[in-house]
Structure 1
Amino acid sequence: MKKLLPVIVAVVFVCYIVFSILLVNEKGMDAVCRGVTVEIKDSADRNFITRRDVIRLLRSSNLYPVDTPLRAINTAHIERRIIESGPVERTKVYKTPSGMVHIEITQKTPILRVFADGESYYVDEQGHAMAVSSRYAAYLPVACGKIEKTFATTDLYKFAVFLHKHDFWNNQIEQIFVYPNKEIELIPRVGDFRIFLGSLDGFEEKMDHLQLFYEQAIPKVGWDKYEMINLKYKNQIVCTKK
């Protein structure tokens, strides 16, 4: 009996601890939400959505959790609604032991601004169209002309990704003009000339040739000698003088 006593005491103690934890959790889940905290992780880089926008969105969607029992708050529904709002790439919503609902948000990253058919929108780095914001304008290459949204989010998106990944071209190309036959003309930030790319087929090779031209020819002839640099034809650069 003496040998069993320590075992019995240990079992009773463990049961007490487990019961206490369950009781505390049960009481915690019966508590109501005391408030909402919103953390926008990349707010220093862009400002497509604010805490006020998030709170307004939750209120209008009947998902505002304050004064709601914690057990009744569906964080997955809140996450889904925030993602549906447009400018949010991903979000994480969770309840804290102190009775708060915490929302973490990462915004989408636009890589191209499009003006076409009377509307304006961004294309993000995942190839999705996203609405512009009245409070924030991203400094990006601008595409205009005859642009269907499917073209903007496929072929033109691939070209925008190329520019975005190459700092030189992302800073150098100011405007992309799309002709009805989907041929492309580029307007650089530096230099009084236009760059006719032709179709987007093989654009990486064309841009490599253009970079060589920038590095080897421009220093010799200057930025103002040519009116047009034509890259349409394979392995050729045809320049038109002013």
Structure 2
Amino acid sequence: MKNKYRILKIAITVIILGFLLSFSLKKFSGQKIVDNKISVKMNEKTPVYFIDEKDIREIVKKENPSGKVGDLNIPALEKKINDLPAVDSANVYLNLNGKLNLDIKQRVPVFRLNKDGRDFYVDEKGIEFPISKTYSHPCMLVTGNVKKDEYQKLAELVEKIDKDDFSKKYFIGISKDNNNDYNLLTSEGNYKVEIGDLDHIDFKVKGFKTFVEKYLVYQDPQKYSMVSVKYQNQIVTTLNPYYKENDSILKAGNKELAKVPAPTPVRKTAEPKLKAAPKKETKKPATTSSKPKESTKPKVVTKPKETKKTEKKPTAAKPKTKAKVKIE
């Protein structure tokens, strides 16, 4: 009998607990999620404003028109917020008191890329997301045909520039030219710093820093159009042709370059002389070696000695060549 009473007590207790639980759940699901019960937290280190609390609250209302806790689909709401381009991650959950919590982390742009006629942001993970119509985040501007596999290295370069006081002062933009070389745009002067690829950035920036501190601070920044540090252990500078003080230097350089091709016409004129020489030689033997002229000479000189000389040396070429030289 005692066992039957125990079983009966347990059954009654379970029924009562189940009734209370169902009643509490019904009451809980019937609660409305009002504005003061929605908590939106932005967890990014750098403050960005691509989305705000107002936008998130509107999404919650659209996903749950009735406003009741029981009608709220938390996984669907979380996915809806995560699908926003400017959102990196979102976590949605309810407290026992019916308070809805939304912890959101927005994407922080590392640089803004202008590629193929369109602008967009790229975060530290190398993910693209569009520009907002209501908010513009201050970051490095990059132009050129940058490939997606270069986003992360480019983001690392921008972060290094932002952390270094010297680089942050000098470099205001990055461009990629048609030769696939990267150039750092400077805030002082018309010159740009050519770095080539994105490897050994620390070494290249250090080389440019040394060049500035040891030499460029004593010069007018307008003097150069480019400073190249892409080559190992050397810095190559290009003069600005529109800088007045460079006119004399460039003119002198052009004069020296103009002198360089001068030997080429001399060589060309020397060649026709060599070609003309054999023509003269061919004509002269025709007059000197011809026998009719020799036959005319005996009319003037009738001595037998000269006839003997011609008979003794019919094959010798030396007297003929000497006669040729004398004629010339």
> Per the shorter chain, which TM-score range?
0.7 to 0.9
Tell me the amino acid that sits aligned with residue 226 of structure 2.
M
- SS at 1:54's partner residue? helix
- SS at 1:70's partner residue? coil
| Structure 2 counterpart of 1:52, from 26, 30, 54 | 54
Deviation at 1:24, TM superposition (A): 7.2
Identity in percent: 22
Deviation at 1:154, TM superposition (A): 3.8
Matching of residues 212-227 of structure 1 within 5 Å:
212-227=210-225
In the alignment, structure 1 residue 133 sits paired with structure 2 residue 135 = no
User: Between Structure 1 and Structure 2, whose CA radius of gyration is higher?
Assistant: 2
TM score, norm. by length of structure 1: 0.77
Deviation at 1:205, TM superposition (A): 1.5
In the alignment, structure 1 residue 117 sits paired with structure 2 residue 113 = no
Tell me the amino acid that sits aligned with residue 122 of structure 1.
Y
Mapped to 2, the partners of 1:216 and 1:109 lie a distance apart of 37
Tell me the amino acid that sits aligned with residue 180 of structure 2.
K
Q: Which has the higher helix share?
A: 2
Mapped to 1, the partners of 2:55 and 2:217 lie a distance apart of 50
TM score, norm. by length of structure 2: 0.59
- Alpha-carbon displacement from aligned partner over 1:18-42 (angstroms, at most 9, x marks no partner): 9498467524533233235352536
Partner of 1:192: 190
Cα distance change of structure 1 residues 27 and 168 upon mapping to structure 2, 3 Å threshold: farther
Partner of 1:144: 143
Mapped to 2, the partners of 1:197 and 1:153 lie a distance apart of 16
Q: Which has the higher strand share?
A: 1
Deviation at 1:144, TM superposition (A): 1.0
Question: Larger deviation: 112-121 or 46-55?
Answer: 46-55
- SS at 1:153's partner residue? helix
Cα distance change of structure 1 residues 57 and 235 upon mapping to structure 2, 3 Å threshold: farther
Deviation at 1:179, TM superposition (A): 1.6
Deviation at 1:109, TM superposition (A): 0.7
Cα distance change of structure 1 residues 47 and 117 upon mapping to structure 2, 3 Å threshold: same
Aligned residues: 226
Whether the aligned pair in 2 keeps the contact of 1:186 and 1:195 (CA below 8 Å) is yes
Whether the aligned pair in 1 keeps the contact of 2:33 and 2:69 (CA below 8 Å) is no
Deviation at 1:185, TM superposition (A): 1.3
Mapped to 2, the partners of 1:181 and 1:217 lie a distance apart of 28
Partner of 1:238: 236
Mapped to 1, the partners of 2:149 and 2:165 lie a distance apart of 24
Q: Which ranges of structure 1 fall in alignment gaps of 5 or more residues?
A: 1-11
- Alpha-carbon displacement from aligned partner over 1:152-195 (angstroms, at most 9, x marks no partner): 52443332333344354345322211123321111112333211
RMSD: 3.2
Q: Which ranges of structure 2 fall in alignment gaps of 5 or more residues?
A: 1-9, 241-328
Whether the aligned pair in 1 keeps the contact of 2:111 and 2:122 (CA below 8 Å) is yes
Whether the aligned pair in 1 keeps the contact of 2:43 and 2:103 (CA below 8 Å) is no
Whether the aligned pair in 2 keeps the contact of 1:89 and 1:106 (CA below 8 Å) is yes
Tell me the amino acid that sits aligned with residue 50 of structure 2.
F
